[in-house]
Structures are given as structure tokens and as C-alpha cells.
Amino acid sequence: MTDHVLTEVKDRVMHITFNRADKKNALTHAMYSKVVEAMREAESSDNIRAMLFTGAGEAFTSGNDLVDFRDNPKMGPDAPVSQFLQCLLTSKKPIVMAVNGIAVGVGLTMLLHADIVFAAEGAVISAPFVDLALVPEAASSLLLPKRAGHARAAEIFMLGKRVTAQEGYEMGIFSRVLKADDLLAQAEEAAVALANKAPQSVQRTKMLMRGDIEEVGARMEKEAKLFAEQLFSSEFAESVMAFMEKRPPNFG
């Protein structure tokens, strides 16, 4: 068990906090496992009606821990990251995300599966999969172009464009941009409000708004296959080496 993810049930809301501030809340396999455990508890307990995700410190999350993923590239349906994505895909309970700072990679793509997403004014989101020699995951290759339009999604995935909170709001990724000091309180208020509403109505509304989960699941699977291939590629090894050595990658 790791305290790199904090979980707490309060007012019928499962609070999940990425808590590895010194590494910008980069997500290891162990952290994904703890998140999955909390999400499964939330889904199965009648006393939990909503989930709230945020990050400790300055970051929401800098995405997959690149070193953990390079040294221990677990993929396939049993891998903790795959189980996390599956939990997002199949979640029945509403999810609120409070993006307190930088959100990279899965830090952005998980937002596309949440119901209510607020950002702090200084939050910056990016998903530079091509810069990392990876491909999009979490069905984001389907969901982000739908949300933001193909051209803007391509700048994010392929050029590694960083998007401010305000730009994210304009793309429909965030519904509110808030002062940093107000973010958590407003997100909690929204989560508690959801938890107090008629649960069947909330869950059915979520299900209806989500649309074709089979299509989304199929895209996730397709992405996962290519993502796994990229994880074992020499170009990914070079991108991680460059990150660790704090230099630009050289792809030849």
C-alpha cells in the first residue's frame, strides 16, 4: 500500500488525491492500483455516491511515471493502468476532477471521462504523446477530437501544445476556471451536491451522456495495443533517456 495516493470517504464522496508532489504526482503502477481499489469501492458501496479527484501540491499529475513505465512496462488487461482506464470507462458513479496544476498525458486524458471538471487559473494541460514517442491512450484519440475539434487535438497530441486553463475551458474540457484557493471547495461542493441527488437519476444521466461505451472501449483497446508496442520501441527508450538527462530527444 502506498501513501502516494490518499483516499477518504467524506459526505458520501470518495476523495482520491494523487500525493507524490516531489515527482509532480507522476503515476506509478502501485499508485494506479490504489486508485483502482478506491474506485471499485466507490462503485460497489451504496454509501458512496460520487468521486472527487485532485492532486496534492502544485501538480494535478504529470502522467505515467516514465521511469516506472520504462523499467517495468506492464500492459495488457491486468496491468494497473489498464484497470484504471477500465474503471473510468465503466464507472457508474459521477466523477468530479479538480485540476489544481499541471496535468500531462493521462492527467489530461482522464479528464475526458469525468463528468464535472474544474481548473485552477494556473492549470496547464498537455498530452505530448508524439514527443514521448507514444500514442494517445484512454480513448483520447476519439474523445479529444470530438471535444476540441481535430485540428486542436492534433496540436495537443502531435505538436505537444500546452493548453492553459482558459483555452481548456474554451475547448469544453473544463466547465469552470477558478481561483486556486477556491478550486477544492467548489469541487467538493459539486461532488456533495451530486451525492445528494437521486442516485439512479444521476447514474442514468451519466450513462446517457456518455454515449456509445462499446465504441470508446474498442478505441481504448486499439490504442493500448499500439501504446504497448511503442513502450518497447527504441524511440521511447530515447525519449525517456532524454527526459532523465534533461535534454531534447534525438530520433535520428
Task: Give me the residues that bind ligand COA (CB under 6 A), please.
Answer: 23-24, 26, 62-67, 102, 104-105, 132, 134
We find the least distance from the C-beta atom of residue 178 to ligand COA, in angstroms, to be 21
CA-wise closest residue to 117 among 174, 196, 38, 197:
174
* Between 99 and 132, CB nearer to ligand COA: 132
Q: How far apart are CA 92 and CA 200, in angstroms?
A: 10
Element (H, E) at 177: strand 176-178
CB-based closest residue to ligand COA: 105
Which residue, 17 or 62, has its beta carbon nearer to ligand COA? 62
Report in angstroms how near the CB of residue 136 gets to ligand COA at its nearest: 10
- The residue ranges of DSSP E strands in 91-216, in sequence order, are 95-99, 102-104, 116-120, 124-126, 163-164, 176-178
Q: Considering beta carbons, is residue 174 or 236 the nearer one to ligand COA?
A: 236
Minimum CB distance to ligand COA, residue 209 (Å): 27
CB of 63 or CB of 168, closer to ligand COA: 63
Angle between helices 150-158 and 140-148 (to 10 degrees): 130
Q: Which of 97, 18, 116 is nearest to 52 (CA)?
A: 97
d(CA 19, CA 22): 9
Which CB sits closer to ligand COA, 23 or 222?
Answer: 23
Q: How far is the C-alpha of 95 from the C-alpha of 116, rounded, in Å?
A: 7
We find the least distance from the C-beta atom of residue 106 to ligand COA, in angstroms, to be: 6
Q: How far is the CB of 183 from ligand COA (least distance, A)?
A: 19
